[in-house]
Structure 1
Amino acid sequence: MTEILVQQGAAKEVPSSGRLVEHPAWPVLKDAVERIRPWQSGDGSIDFEAEGAPEPAEARAVVGRVVAAVRELSPLLPHDLAYHEALVADLERWAGEGFPVPDFLDSLLAFQPAADRRDGLQHLVVFPMYTQNGNPDRNLEAVALRMVWPDWLAELERTRYDNPLFCGITFEGFTSGYDTNSAVLFPETIAVREAPERFSWGGIFCDREAARFRRVTAAAVDILGLELPEDVAALVHDQKRCEEAFVLWDMIHDRTHSHGDLPFDPFMIKQRQPFWMYGLEELRCDLTAFKEAVKLASEGVPQARDVQIAVLFDRMFRFPVTGERVRNYDGLGGQLLFAYLHKHDVVRWVDNKLSIDWENAPRVTNRLCGEIERLYREGIDRPKLVHWFAGYELVSTYLAPHPGSTWAKGPEALDLALPPRKLVDDVLPDEFPLSMFYEALSKKLKKVIAATRGIARDDIGRTAA
């Protein structure tokens, strides 16, 4: 591999701004990664017989530029030294073996951001990976990011919401796989020879979530004629407040997957279930964050009221009309929340204007959380199929199923001789279609939502490099 080894020069000083992406080696790294990505197949390998493929020597040379840039940037990030050494070894081995399906397990195991969650700490991450809600292929990606771990959040995690693997992060710079709707950095997306026994971190980009929330909420409020209280209006125009709301929401949501009455695998990744069960799980975690935010607000935690608004607005305005209608479980959860609040007169759509009963919103939202928690508690004593029907009954109490649904006709319409996982085939791709309200809102918000692709910090002075 001598042909791709590059002499490590002296590290240049950190830019006065303190931002890694303003170092001259960052654009070199980013350009080299972008050169490699189109050459890769879906599994991350490079097929040199494919049309448009480079010569092997050219691919090795470009990987050499990646290695050189990592080596130049690494001294600026001493906390990532062990990871960057393993990363260089993985890159060189990948090139030396002729660019097969990549295996970056060694560097993945060396990257441990949750072990040091100092607020503002920067990381340089390079992995072959797919990006959730973004690029489905395992392309090489480079991401410069910054940790979000203020003292108030660290104290809440230490005393009330233990979540030692959670990393709140923001973008500093990224390659094409993140010029998408992806707002997470998860180790399970990375190409490795075998999955580790356990993952030791998970990152969520609260700046992208906050910017997307602000853009969509502002448009929805204008379209729907919704009058906002002064503090809520101020939140929508404040990126930092929104980031703080989302990092607290995310931390509580993330831990909720493994807390409470759970009659199934917390992440359901080993089970095939109807998508409304996934929707109920995600909504349960969001509503648990909402419920905890109500408690924290009563104790004077400044970010808690903002969490409540973020959950309500993101769930009601963005989730139902984002993405395709094929097994859209997050969209389903947003539809359910709106329908529940509408049935209990917390939201009203009258004279082409939306109104919200701000005083009763916390109580009624917590009531829906209680209904889902009761479903889970009782589900422990039910067979799987019975539990699925109970979940269907809860959702269909507030949302009308598709008129052609087999599941809506009840158990007698299904072939119960089949195992439950086979009955999932009888679920329609859009089992609970959008209401007339959301059909109209979707048309109005379609372009706004599309414009949030790749967003990082919206209009507050910078976007990701």
Structure 2
Amino acid sequence: MSGTDAAQRRTDAAYPLKTDAAYRLQDDMLDEAARLGRTLVPRVDAFRARQRDDGTVPDPKDADRRGLAVLKDEAADWFAAHGRSAQADALAADVDDWLAAGLDTPPHFARSRDALTAPADGDWAAFLAPVQTTNSVPPVGRRLEFFLVRRKEPDALPELAVHYPHPKNNCQATVLLAGSEGLREGNCIVFFPENVAAHDKVTEQKYAIFFFNKFRRIHEQFALPSAQAVLTPDSVPQDSAGLDPGVCYQARSVWGYLHDYFHHQGRWPLDRHVKLKMNWFIGLLEELKVDARTALACHTDALVPYAGEQIAMILLERMFRYPLDAHAVRNFDAGTGVFLFSWLRGHGALVADGAGLLRLDQERMIDALRELVDTIEGMEAAVQTPAEYRSAARELVRTLLRPGAEGDRYAFTDDQQTLLRARERLAALPPLHFAPAEL
């Protein structure tokens, strides 16, 4: 790929690879993170173990109420002592209201959700509330969680943003310094305001925090082996394999920026149509479109750094890791991967090799991604109303994802089952555990 090669040469020159030691985080909050790991975090873990998936505590005891009250006071004091008085007040009010309503009622932490502000690059943020930790270690639900993060945007961002100026950059690339069990273990790398347990709906996404230091090990333990079970050895993308931890963080953070940048382009930009984009069919196509546009930018634009790494990450994560989910037929991200698999199959980018494996043709893949973007954007340009958009998106998705059983979004075809070859083996692996600030 000439575009990718050119971009990679430029990346190597402008952002030379650093050693592991050079990337080890020197952070004045690390000692505080370690202290929280001995004090506040164990209290959070103990309380979340008592909760159901909806956040309620079954048959709450006096010990549960006392434990939450103590936890509230400790956390509120910590927030206030570190200059986050608004969060301290919001947390105290949310906990007091929940205690008054009864812990066997669903929690409502809208005040805490809204009191959090996105940290500036280099600054830290912390949060405590019942949160849905997507892709964490089961049981996954709206359980009490805590995190402390340091925002660390990629070194290439200032120059990249000149050529790809984001109109509303509400995404934050961060390093997880300390976290409760739902964040410290498993594959959850995202935190959105809509993840917080609350009775009302989020109408504007004021922050989107990504724990990108967790990505490398997740990618190497799940995405790469899954691809190796499906693709011929010589066609498995290798650009994202065996990366220096800091380089992987940089590349993943650039992907995150471009992904969100493309969300805000085109006929129906995300910032003006948040509720509409939450439609399952529209959202599935939206995610595929912005990742395809990111991959195409990497392929054609020599100004984009870590081009090869990003293309490999996008392909391996979306097509080979996401469908491994135990409830893939109900999982939004898994659906994008299954759709992409069949799209590439239909466009000659994934062909049978004769040994039970598929061969990935990367040039045809690029052509297929370009046609995918054109198809989705053509559909978006043709519709005039939200109702037309929902109907057209459903029709397009159903060309490759057949209807499933009641409660399921789709059903795997025999060909799509190919993606699940490594599911059982990978699901049997112990969950990943992340030390504070690990890159």
Q: Same fold (TM over 0.5)?
A: yes
Aligned pair partner of 2:294 in 286, 289, 293: 289
Counterparts of 1:288-367 in structure 2, within 5 Å, are 288-296=293-301, 298-299=302-303, 301-352=304-355, 353-367=357-371
- How far apart, in 1, do the equivalents of 2:385 and 2:199 lie? 38
Cross-structure match for 1:164: 169
- Map Cα deviations across residues 229-263 of structure 1 (whole Å, 9 max, x no partner): 9xx53531113333323222222323444431239
- Map Cα deviations across residues 253-304 of structure 1 (whole Å, 9 max, x no partner): 2344443123998344687x5x4443222211221222333343x23x3223
RMSD: 3.8
- Opposite residue 408 of structure 2, the aligned amino acid is P
Cross-structure match for 2:391: 388
Cross-structure match for 1:151: 155
Cross-structure match for 1:29: 40
The DSSP-based 3-state class of the residue aligned with 1:376 is: helix
Q: Structure 1: which 5+ runs fail to align?
A: 1-14, 406-425
The higher-RCO structure (CA 8 Å, 6+ apart) is: 2
Cross-structure match for 1:207: 213
The DSSP-based 3-state class of the residue aligned with 2:156 is: helix
Give the TM-score normalised by the residue count of structure 1. Answer: 0.72
- How far apart, in 2, do the equivalents of 1:441 and 1:383 lie? 33
Q: How far off its partner does 1:227 sit?
A: 1.8
1:110 aligns with 2:112: no
Q: How far off its partner does 1:389 sit?
A: 5.3
- How far apart, in 2, do the equivalents of 1:21 and 1:366 lie? 47
Cross-structure match for 2:423: 445
Q: How far off its partner does 1:400 sit?
A: 7.2
Contact 1:220 1:445 in 2 (8 A): yes
Cross-structure match for 1:173: 178
Aligned pair partner of 2:273 in 266, 271, 275: 266
Contact 1:126 1:140 in 2 (8 A): yes
- How far apart, in 2, do the equivalents of 1:372 and 1:182 lie? 28
- Map Cα deviations across residues 67-101 of structure 1 (whole Å, 9 max, x no partner): 335635765x55x4543454355445655776565
- Opposite residue 54 of structure 1, the aligned amino acid is K
Query: For residues 288 and 141 of structure 1, do their structure 2 counterparts lie closer, same or farther at Cα, with a shift above 3 Å needed?
Result: same
1:130 aligns with 2:145: no
- How far apart, in 1, do the equivalents of 2:44 and 2:159 lie? 38
Contact 2:281 2:397 in 1 (8 A): no
1:198 aligns with 2:204: yes
Query: For residues 400 and 289 of structure 1, do their structure 2 counterparts lie closer, same or farther at Cα, with a shift above 3 Å needed?
Result: closer
Query: For residues 128 and 445 of structure 1, do their structure 2 counterparts lie closer, same or farther at Cα, with a shift above 3 Å needed?
Result: closer
- How far apart, in 2, do the equivalents of 1:343 and 1:194 lie? 42
Q: How far off its partner does 1:149 sit?
A: 1.0
Q: How far off its partner does 1:30 sit?
A: 1.1
- Opposite residue 232 of structure 2, the aligned amino acid is G
Contact 1:133 1:180 in 2 (8 A): yes
Cross-structure match for 2:232: 225
Cross-structure match for 2:257: 251
- How far apart, in 2, do the equivalents of 1:111 and 1:286 lie? 28
Q: How far off its partner does 1:375 sit?
A: 1.4
- How far apart, in 2, do the equivalents of 1:190 and 1:261 lie? 30
Contact 1:185 1:204 in 2 (8 A): yes
- How far apart, in 2, do the equivalents of 1:23 and 1:94 lie? 29
- How far apart, in 2, do the equivalents of 1:67 and 1:92 lie? 11
Query: For residues 154 and 111 of structure 1, do their structure 2 counterparts lie closer, same or farther at Cα, with a shift above 3 Å needed?
Result: farther
- How far apart, in 1, do the equivalents of 2:383 and 2:342 lie? 23
- How far apart, in 2, do the equivalents of 1:105 and 1:428 lie? 29
Give the TM-score normalised by the residue count of structure 2. Answer: 0.76
- Opposite residue 293 of structure 2, the aligned amino acid is T
Contact 1:206 1:247 in 2 (8 A): yes
Q: Structure 2: which 5+ runs fail to align?
A: 1-25
| Between 195-204 and 312-321, the greater mean CA deviation after superposition | 195-204
Cross-structure match for 1:11: none
Q: How far off its partner does 1:19 sit?
A: 1.6
Counterparts of 1:57-72 in structure 2, within 5 Å, are 59-65=65-71, 67-68=73-74, 71-72=77-78
**Identity score, percent:** 20
- Map Cα deviations across residues 115-167 of structure 1 (whole Å, 9 max, x no partner): x122xx43332112223345664322111223231332244346524133111
- Opposite residue 62 of structure 2, the aligned amino acid is E
- How far apart, in 2, do the equivalents of 1:451 and 1:170 lie? 24
Structure number with greater Rg is 1
Contact 1:33 1:66 in 2 (8 A): no
- Map Cα deviations across residues 203-226 of structure 1 (whole Å, 9 max, x no partner): 122233433222223313543332
Aligned pair partner of 2:87 in 83, 94, 103: 83
- How far apart, in 1, do the equivalents of 2:99 and 2:417 lie? 50
- How far apart, in 2, do the equivalents of 1:94 and 1:227 lie? 56
- How far apart, in 2, do the equivalents of 1:25 and 1:320 lie? 35
Cross-structure match for 1:433: 412
Contact 1:332 1:432 in 2 (8 A): no
Q: How far off its partner does 1:185 sit?
A: 0.8
Contact 1:336 1:395 in 2 (8 A): no
Query: For residues 85 and 117 of structure 1, do their structure 2 counterparts lie closer, same or farther at Cα, with a shift above 3 Å needed?
Result: farther
- How far apart, in 1, do the equivalents of 2:77 and 2:292 lie? 44
